[in-house]
């Protein structure tokens, strides 16, 4: 019954020996208060509305400048039974399921496989939608990074991490850092609200975990006045995300291969350095070790570090994907100088691309066989016409002889 008061027990949020009364030494505008987090909800909705306007009016002209064009898609022939199976059961039927569908629909195995491939291609997001999403994230990340760097670069804890814990938790919070926190929280809230309609990538589950962990991390660190170290965590993450989204934007365009390759290489280098070197050796080290120079462990200490560990586990996962993409990139350069859409998204898209190539080959083979069939039919038609003309002439000649 008294669960809510228990949540705000001071031993959950504050180090041993510090009480909520001690926090009242700070003025109400200088100390974080849990109710402040409510502003992130209207901010999330505002970001969704702003994104809609951006993708509708700003992203299309940007895409045209970069030569973003949608691929021409061949639609699957209407088939109620196959459509029902596709939407309700599986987008990729097994061999036994294909055989069962053959008897139900009266189609060959090849026709059913082709239908499902075309149907999957219809559901794939178009390039303009991908470009709009990448452009929106790029716009936010570069704006947030520049704003965050401006309000942090002259602060002592930006250069000396021990300053993050000096006089903790009785540290005044600046309004710039308050808005930096709320805007980041609102942005990740908008991503979580739109995740069901955004493009689903290969790391969809990891993205959900990442957004939830980030929201919990920002919310808890704000309430526990971990604002100084929290701002550094956010700034570090935004630095590499800028390059990722810009590389995607150029990848969707036409004629920007070298620019995309260069941005991808720089992104990979910065991601691996910031997420696998700086984040664990500086950020996690200061929260785990340096903070113990000021206070003893408490619930908030463990909870905050667990969330940082979750982020680090995701960093390792994404680093594996990036290294695999680098391997494919180098392999493509050595073999054909070609590479597929280098996002974290997609083995499924890779499968669909292979399907498209096979489909193109099948279409080409069909066109050749159709041309061959047409030529044979033409020859047969011509032969029939010639035979008819010969027979007609012979009959006319016979009538003329009889008349004589």
Q: Residue 379's pLDDT is what?
A: 53
47-76: average pLDDT: 92
Q: pLDDT tier at 354 (50, 70, 90 boundaries)?
A: very low
108-134: average pLDDT: 90
**pLDDT tens digits for range 213-269:** 999 999 999 999 999 999 999 999 999 999 999 999 999 999 999 999 999 999 999
* Residues 249 and 138: beta-carbon distance below 8 Å: yes
Name the residue with higher pLDDT: 180 or 389: 180
Q: Residue 386's pLDDT is what?
A: 45
* Residues 394 and 386: beta-carbon distance below 8 Å: no
In angstroms, the CA 179 to CA 148 distance is: 10
Q: pLDDT tier at 11 (50, 70, 90 boundaries)?
A: confident
141-156: average pLDDT: 96
- Record the tokens describing residue 113, joined without a space: 């496989």
Three-class SS state of 17 = coil
189-195: average pLDDT: 93
In angstroms, the CA 195 to CA 356 distance is: 27
- Assess whether pLDDT exceeds 80 at residue 61: yes
Q: Residue 20's pLDDT is what?
A: 86
**R_g (Cα) of the chain, nearest Å:** 32
Going from the C-alpha of 203 to that of each of 47, 313, 320, 342, 347, the distances in angstroms are 23, 13, 12, 13, 10
Residue 73 backbone phi and psi in degrees, to 5: -110, 140
> pTM of the prediction?
0.78
Q: Residue 5's pLDDT is what?
A: 54
- Assess whether pLDDT exceeds 80 at residue 404: no
- Assess whether pLDDT exceeds 70 at residue 357: no
109-137: average pLDDT: 90
Q: Residue 392's pLDDT is what?
A: 54
Q: Residue 393's pLDDT is what?
A: 54
Q: Residue 179's pLDDT is what?
A: 96
Which spans in 3-155 are helix H? 3-7, 10-13, 20-23, 40-53, 59-66, 80-88, 95-105, 109-123, 127-152
In angstroms, the CA 346 to CA 367 distance is: 31
* Residues 59 and 136: beta-carbon distance below 8 Å: yes
Q: Residue 338's pLDDT is what?
A: 36
Per DSSP, the residues of 279-344 read IIIIIIHHHHTGGGGTS---HHHHHHHHHHHHHHHHHHHHHHHHHHHHHHHHHHHHHTS-----ST
In angstroms, the CA 139 to CA 360 distance is: 37
Percent residues over pLDDT 70 in the chain: 81
Q: pLDDT tier at 346 (50, 70, 90 boundaries)?
A: very low
Mean pLDDT value across the chain: 83
Size of the chain in residues: 404
Angle ∠(221,227,229) on CA atoms, nearest 5? 95
Percent residues over pLDDT 90 in the chain: 54
Q: Residue 183's pLDDT is what?
A: 96
269-295: average pLDDT: 95
198-204: average pLDDT: 80
Q: Residue 339's pLDDT is what?
A: 33
Name the residue with higher pLDDT: 221 or 403: 221
Q: pLDDT tier at 327 (50, 70, 90 boundaries)?
A: confident
Of 211, 263, 258, 225, which Cα lies nearest the Cα of 242?
263
- Assess whether pLDDT exceeds 50 at residue 152: yes
**pLDDT tens digits for range 360-399:** 444 434 344 444 444 544 554 455 544 554 555 556 556 5
**pLDDT tens digits for range 124-135:** 888 999 999 999
């Amino acid at each position: 019954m008294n669960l809510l008061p228990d949540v705000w027990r001071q031993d959950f949020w504050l180090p041993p020996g510090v009480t909520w009364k001690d926090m009242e030494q700070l003025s109400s505008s200088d100390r974080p208060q849990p109710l402040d987090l409510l502003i992130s909800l209207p901010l999330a909705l505002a970001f969704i509305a702003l994104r809609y306007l951006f993708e509708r009016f700003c992203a299309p002209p940007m895409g045209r400048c970069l030569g973003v064009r949608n691929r021409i898609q061949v639609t699957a022939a209407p088939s109620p039974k196959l459509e029902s199976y596709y939407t309700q059961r599986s987008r990729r039927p097994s061999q036994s399921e294909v055989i069962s569908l053959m008897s139900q629909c009266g189609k060959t195995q090849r026709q059913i496989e082709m239908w499902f491939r075309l149907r999957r291609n219809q559901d794939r997001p178009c390039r303009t939608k991908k470009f709009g999403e990448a452009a929106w994230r790029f716009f936010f990340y570069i704006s947030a990074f520049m704003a965050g760097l401006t309000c942090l670069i002259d602060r002592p804890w930006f250069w000396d991490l021990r300053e993050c814990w000096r006089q903790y938790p009785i540290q005044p919070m600046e309004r710039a850092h308050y808005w930096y926190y709320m805007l980041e929280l609102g942005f990740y809230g908008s991503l979580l609200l739109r995740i069901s309609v955004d493009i689903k990538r290969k790391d969809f589950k990891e993205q959900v975990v990442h957004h939830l962990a980030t929201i919990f991390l920002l919310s808890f660190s704000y309430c526990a006045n971990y604002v100084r170290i929290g701002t550094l965590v956010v700034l570090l993450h935004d630095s590499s995300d800028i390059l990722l989204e810009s590389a995607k934007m150029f990848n969707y365009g036409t004629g920007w291969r070298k620019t995309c390759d260069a941005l991808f290489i720089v992104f990979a280098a910065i991601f691996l350095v910031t997420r696998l070197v700086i984040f664990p050796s500086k950020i996690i080290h200061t929260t785990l070790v340096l903070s113990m120079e000021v206070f003893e462990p408490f619930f908030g200490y463990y909870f905050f570090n667990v969330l940082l560990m979750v982020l680090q586990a995701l960093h390792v996962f994404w680093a594996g994907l990036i290294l695999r993409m680098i391997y494919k990139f180098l392999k493509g350069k050595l073999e054909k100088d070609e590479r597929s859409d280098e996002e974290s998204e997609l083995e499924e898209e890779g499968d669909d691309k292979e399907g498209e190539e096979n489909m193109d080959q099948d279409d080409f083979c069909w066109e050749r066989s159709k041309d061959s069939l047409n030529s044979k039919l033409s020859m047969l038609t011509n032969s029939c016409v010639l035979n008819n003309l010969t027979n007609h002439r012979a009959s006319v000649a016979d009538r003329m002889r009889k008349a004589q």
